[in-house]
């Protein structure tokens, strides 16, 4: 991201549903919300602000609740998908808008998909990066993956409060280097991609080595930027984001009334062929059924050689896909 684009991004705080959220924004026009994943923040979208704003859109990327500069509620139960989608709807209204296009990456993708599922009257279009829409199944996804991949599967490993929190916060710079490189298309571990599983007796970061050299899309300045953004929460820097995982079973219960509902707004999906998400059990079937669960799917795009950090690893291709999708949406009334 050029220094010009960095300086053009404006920052402020907005209170939404009793939680103080930090937002970064640039441009004027129809609203496009960019929702980051774990362990990220608004900075993950540094390559998208300028191109989308220059194309005539108002681009807003919040630090979602629990992350970076935003407030981190103490209660684990405050991080359910209903809270997170509520934040999206509240933010759209707090920005003085009645509708938005919602784009999500990693955990931001389920938030985007669910917001479109529950509030198609507010979401003009939805784009998911890395994670496709996952319809509610007969059992919680967490229970199903524990059965298939064991307690060491990272989503299950994250359930114990304080464990992963402490490991990730010991050395934030090392954490970001390991995770961002380790799940990228540049890592040997993603050829082919495989689920992130912590062997018994090992720690979380034992599974990802710190790279000798960062890939071309990630600089030390980027690492320092992520660390600075997370500084505010100290030893709890990653706790807010981990609490999202601790609500997976609860999300399955809360979304029961919407079982069987499809996403009936225009949709886009973009992911790399070396993304670890692609290796999850049942993912091939989910990808094949996207046109059924999101019948107004515009395109499903696979980026060769790209890992998990879609919009950071392949910004030009992602920006082109987003701009094409936005251009094909019905005109805003």
Phi, psi of 26 (to 5 degrees): -155, 145
Phi, psi of 222 (to 5 degrees): -65, -45
Selection from 331, 320, 222 nearest residue 270 by Cα: 320
- Any residues with CB less than 8 A from the CB of 192 and at least 6 apart, and which? 274, 279
Q: Pull the structure tokens for residue 276.
A: 């670890």
Q: 69 to each of 23, 40, 89, 228, 284, how far by Cα in Å?
A: 9, 11, 20, 9, 36
How are beta strands 267-272 and 297-303 bridged, if at all? parallel
Burial class (CB in 10 A: 0-12, 13-18, 19+), 290: middle
- Neighbour tally for 212: CB within 10 Å: 6
Query: What does the alpha-carbon distance between residue 256 and residue 47 come to, in Å, rounded to a whole number?
Result: 37
Q: Pull the structure tokens for residue 285.
A: 């079937």
Query: What does the alpha-carbon distance between residue 1 and residue 201 come to, in Å, rounded to a whole number?
Result: 40
Query: What does the alpha-carbon distance between residue 83 and residue 96 come to, in Å, rounded to a whole number?
Result: 20
Identify any residues that bridge with 274 across adjacent strands, giving them in sequence order.
none
Which residues are known to be catalytic? 106, 308
Give all strands of the β-sheet with 10-16 in edge-to-edge order. 10-16, 19-26, 58-62, 31-35, 100-105, 123-129, 267-272, 297-303
- Any residues with CB less than 8 A from the CB of 294 and at least 6 apart, and which? 126, 133, 262, 263, 267, 269
């Amino acid at each position: 991201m050029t220094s010009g684009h960095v300086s053009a991004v404006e920052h402020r705080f907005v209170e939404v549903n009793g939680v103080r959220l930090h937002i970064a924004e640039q441009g004027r026009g129809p609203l496009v919300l960019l929702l980051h994943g774990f362990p990220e923040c608004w900075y993950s979208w540094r390559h998208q602000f300028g191109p989308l704003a220059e194309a005539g859109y108002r681009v807003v990327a919040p630090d979602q609740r629990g992350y970076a500069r935003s407030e981190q509620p103490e209660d684990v139960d405050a991080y359910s998908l209903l809270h997170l989608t509520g934040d999206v709807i509240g933010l759209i209204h707090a920005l003085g808008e009645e509708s938005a296009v919602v784009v999500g990456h990693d955990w931001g993708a389920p938030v985007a998909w669910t917001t479109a599922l529950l509030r198609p009257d507010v979401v003009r279009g939805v784009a998911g990066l890395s994670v496709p829409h996952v319809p509610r199944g007969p059992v919680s996804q967490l229970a199903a993956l524990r059965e298939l991949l064991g307690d060491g599967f990272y989503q299950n490993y994250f359930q114990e409060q304080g464990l992963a929190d402490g490991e990730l916060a010991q050395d934030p710079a090392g954490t970001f280097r390991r995770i961002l490189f380790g799940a990228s298309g540049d890592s040997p571990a993603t050829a082919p991609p495989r689920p992130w599983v912590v062997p018994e007796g090992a720690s979380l970061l034992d599974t990802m080595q710190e790279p000798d050299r960062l890939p071309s899309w990630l600089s030390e300045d980027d690492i320092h930027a992520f660390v600075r953004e997370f500084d505010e929460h100290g030893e709890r820097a990653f706790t807010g984001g981990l609490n999202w995982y601790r609500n997976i079973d609860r999300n399955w219960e809360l979304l029961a009334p919407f079982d069987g509902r499809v996403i009936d707004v225009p949709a886009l999906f973009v992911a790399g062929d070396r993304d670890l998400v692609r290796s999850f059990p049942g993912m091939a079937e989910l990808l094949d059924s996207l046109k059924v669960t999101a019948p107004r799917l515009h395109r499903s795009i696979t980026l060769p050689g790209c890992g998990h950090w879609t919009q950071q690893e392949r910004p030009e291709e992602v920006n082109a896909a987003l701009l094409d999708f936005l251009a094909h949406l019905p005109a805003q009334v």
